[in-house]
Structure 1
Amino acid sequence: MSEEMRNPFISNTPSSSPAKSRVQSGNRITKRDTSSSSSLTSVNSSPLRRPRSSNGGYTDRFLPNRTNMDLKSVISIGSSQLPRLVPSDSDNHLEVRREQEAHETFDAVLKNELFGEKLCEASNENEDSIERIKYTATFPYREPSTPPRSQEASGRDALLSPSPSSPATPRRLTFENHSKPSSSSMRGASLLTYCEKKASRPSAASLLQSQYSSSASPVRPDSKKLLLSPSKKVRQISKIPFRVLDAPSLADDFYYDLVDWSSADMLAVALGKSIFLTNNNTNEVAQLAKTDDDYTSLSWVGAGSHLAVGQANGLVKIFDVEKKRCIRTIPGHIDRVACLSWNNHILTSGSRDRRILHRDVRTPEPCFEEIRTHKQEVCGLKWNVDENQLASGGNDNVVFVYDGTSRKPILTLAEHTAAVKAMAWSPHRRGVLATGGGTADKRLKIWNVRTSTKLHDVDTASQVCNMIWSRNTNEIITSHGYSKYNLTLWDGVNAEPIAILKGHSFRVLHMTLSADGTTIVSGAGDETLRYWKLFDKPRPQAHAASALLSTFNQLR
């Protein structure tokens, strides 16, 4: 880049000295009268005008301003974009976002101060130009419709008579006890001002206050508005769990799902051949059941009164939590039950025998529908209760979506290259499903089931073992195995990572969400349960009273 491009304030005057610009005739110097000399001196002293001499002479007094700049410099600097910061695995992505926003704000204010009049497109956009510059990070420049006659003439014409397409310039700022610019055609704030010497020097606080509160602020009105606007509250996420519990004999098996939190604020954990219940309010721990076979999966019914348990021998048991006893044993599978999911009174189970069974717990029959679509073990099941749709993932790397309890799937997703256990339906957008692949895949994919399109595809750099979509915020939390052993918080809109939580030393296979939607409990092969406070409680929404209902109440 040339020196002119690096410094747009460099004058275009030639290097010849003022003595060479004098008009010589032989050995005599032509003399001018005093009146004309004084008038020329006043013209030459203006920082915006240059004398027009027939021999091409230039004055050595040229002060830079915002409008008389090189066209190439404006385009080069104005269209430059900030480099995107890429955080490492150990960095907090929120801090990186905060730093990126600070860079964008500074860049927007700087470019607006230097090129604000040239970078705006229309006069009605003058007030909102700084916001547009900040959030788009691009500064479009449109050349004038008529080609300029020359750089000097175009700059002078732009100063004396601005074109209708250029934005209206803020009124010329007046400075108290400052010498006014010598030309009345100055636009905006002057870059060079002089202050008279005062008897007492004001304090720094008073100077800063007067700078932003006075109408004679040296920055543009839109820049001042941005600088004085209240900053957005930054969310704080703790990377340290606020509670850690020992979980001896917690299975380190990818196909098991041994932790679940009920709507009644009761946490169920299967440790080896026993099931324990933890009351989150009283912190009391009670043993619910014990068996000779290993427990492989847990799932609470929506009301939180009953717990469905899958075993390694293929049986499914339903426990009454209040009575603390098994009220029903349902056969059907011939191998371990790896996943369970409820849809009101329908309990759906998936097994290593490659079958999906739908059971109506109100009837005595073991099942009323059997699905054989997967070619290997069914390791993931998620009901979308609001839309009555079921998603199943298998060890055959395929995800199927069913409409209700129908046998034939309405959608087949076969882009993963490893087992799909982690799945989650979006509670904020209808028909949106997130899936995560195993060790050979390591990808997080978000689908729109209604349109059969893929919205996002992100490489997580680690095995995706489990997944939860937050109800309070549009965010996804994923747990990982080989080889990161961490939890990652993702933005549900653009699938960008927000924070990485570390603490486990083995694969984070089990994960559940609290009843209020604020706390995540993760379980790993290191035989610990860790409580993470990641989300805030939802704000109560005031529902508008129906006019028809209010009229009906008045009639009653």
Structure 2
Amino acid sequence: MDRYFSRKSTLNVTEIFDHTIKKEKITIKYLDALVTAQTYREIKTKSITDDFYSNLIDWYNDKIFFAVEDSIFVHDFYTLETSFVYKIPETNITSIKGTHNKIIIGSSMGDLYYFDIPKQKLTKRNYHTSRIGVIKQETSNLLTGSRDKTINIIDIRSSKTSHTLKSHTQEVCGIDISKNFLNLATGGNDNKLFIFDYRNLNYPLVKCSQHKAAVKALSWSPLNSNLLVSGGGTADKTVKLWDIDNITGSSSDCLINSMDYGSQVCNLKWLLNNQIVSTHGYSKNDIRISDPLNFKCQKQFLGHRNRVIHFSVSQDERFFVTGSSDCSIKFWELRNEMFNELKIR
């Protein structure tokens, strides 16, 4: 895939990006958790959108795709090279998803762009009437969530919409599919969380109304497909644990635990080692690793000055990347030896 990005950029990339490898290390014990400001790598950017509903970074294999203004860039994790990929003039990019040979881009107008990497060709299709803020992919389908309150399930091979979900009454800002592809969770700016049987999307299994703000952050357990964590926005600040095996007639039956994190919850990722990574906005602007059962913070990452809105994890879950409007994209190490060997009391 590297050869597809070998062409010279028409932009002066060095004027937009400055790569730095952080040498300093700041670690202290704070509230029984390790606090670190050590980044693994950092890219200084010209600008990155401060929009809670956008998702402008995606990690696929060894490539990190991200959007700056109306342009798409790719960063090679191993060579450290950042390359300009394509510019979509007069387009407000609101989401991005990398695949083996395509980059999928959502726009504020409801258009979905497919950029064919080998052919260097851009195709535009319209699936929504407003902003596409979230794109998820499973084996044969794309799922897109929009400000038009709908979720479209798009067949990757035919590019046709096979199903449209209309459960939310405001913008759809969170989507996640369980690892076994049996369960679908959706979150919206209406403060609602819906859980569906992915094999029967006509009606949700349950509607959860316990959050008091937008539900963007969603992640299913990779170990137990019945467990889900969700996070709420500024007026909520909680992370909630759900067990859908407990669904009877009320959403309160499947709510296992809830913790006030004291900050807007922007993203959640449940890792294979049974830890949760969360990124936050107002007012902490930090990243945390927590235990999903009691939500005890085990490690805190500091460094961003503004909301940590944009986020993705490497496939091997050794690293993750974050983006903020403080003009920086930061890489962090999840599994360094010091943290693995540190005994947290």
TM-score w.r.t. the length of structure 1 is 0.52
* Structural mapping, 1:511-530, within 5 Å: 511-530=311-330
Query: Which residue in the other structure is 1:486 paired with?
Result: 286
**Comparing both chains, which one has the higher relative contact order based on Cα–Cα distances under 8 Å and sequence gaps of 6 or more?**
2
Q: Which one of the candidate residues 121, 128, 132 is aligned to 1:325? A: 121
Given the alignment of the two structures, is residue 306 of structure 1 paired with residue 102 of structure 2, yes or no? yes
> What RMSD over aligned residues (CA atoms) do the two structures have, in Å?
1.9
Query: Which residue in the other structure is 1:458 paired with?
Result: 259
* Structural mapping, 1:47-66, within 5 Å: none
Residues 52-90 of structure 1: per-residue CA shift (max 9 Å, x gap): xxxxxxxxxxxxxxxxxxxxxxxxxxxxxxxxxxxxxx9
CA contact (8 A) 2:228 2:242 kept: yes
What SS does structure 2 have at the residue aligned with 1:450?
A: helix
Residues 202-249 of structure 1: per-residue CA shift (max 9 Å, x gap): xxxxxxxxxxxxxxxxxxxxxxxxxxxxxxxxxx88541121111222
Q: How far did 1:503 drift?
A: 0.6
Q: Distance in 2 between matches of 1:527 and 1:321?
A: 27
Q: Distance in 1 between matches of 2:87 and 2:245?
A: 43
TM-score w.r.t. the length of structure 2 is 0.83
* Structural mapping, 1:286-297, within 5 Å: 286-291=83-88, 292-297=90-95
What SS does structure 2 have at the residue aligned with 1:506?
A: coil
CA contact (8 A) 1:437 1:443 kept: yes
| Higher-strand-fraction structure | 2
Given the alignment of the two structures, is residue 500 of structure 1 paired with residue 300 of structure 2, yes or no? yes
Query: Which residue in the other structure is 2:164 paired with?
Result: 370
* Structural mapping, 1:408-487, within 5 Å: 408-452=203-247, 453-471=254-272, 473-487=273-287
**What is the aligned length?**
303
| Higher-helix-fraction structure | 1
What SS does structure 2 have at the residue aligned with 1:245?
A: strand
Query: Which residue in the other structure is 1:334 paired with?
Result: 129
CA contact (8 A) 2:32 2:298 kept: no
Residues 129-183 of structure 1: per-residue CA shift (max 9 Å, x gap): xxxxxxxxxxxxxxxxxxxxxxxxxxxxxxxxxxxxxxxxxxxxxxxxxxxxxxx
CA contact (8 A) 1:448 1:455 kept: yes
Query: Which residue in the other structure is 1:380 paired with?
Result: 174
What SS does structure 1 have at the residue aligned with 2:142?
A: strand
CA contact (8 A) 1:288 1:325 kept: no
- For structure 2, list consecutive stretches of 5 or more residues without a partner in the other structure: 1-26, 248-253, 338-345
Cα 1:322–1:266, aligned 2, differ >3 Å: closer, same or farther?
farther
* Structural mapping, 1:137-156, within 5 Å: none
* Structural mapping, 1:71-470, within 5 Å: 92=29, 96=32, 238-262=36-60, 264-291=61-88, 292-301=90-99, 304-326=100-122, 328-365=123-160, 367-404=161-198, 406-452=201-247, 453-470=254-271
Residues 303-346 of structure 1: per-residue CA shift (max 9 Å, x gap): x33222101111112222333332x4321201110111111120
Q: Distance in 1 between matches of 2:202 and 2:86?
A: 34
Structure of higher CA gyration radius? 1
- For structure 1, list consecutive stretches of 5 or more residues without a partner in the other structure: 1-89, 98-235, 538-556
Which residue identity lines up with residue 138 of structure 2 in the other structure? N
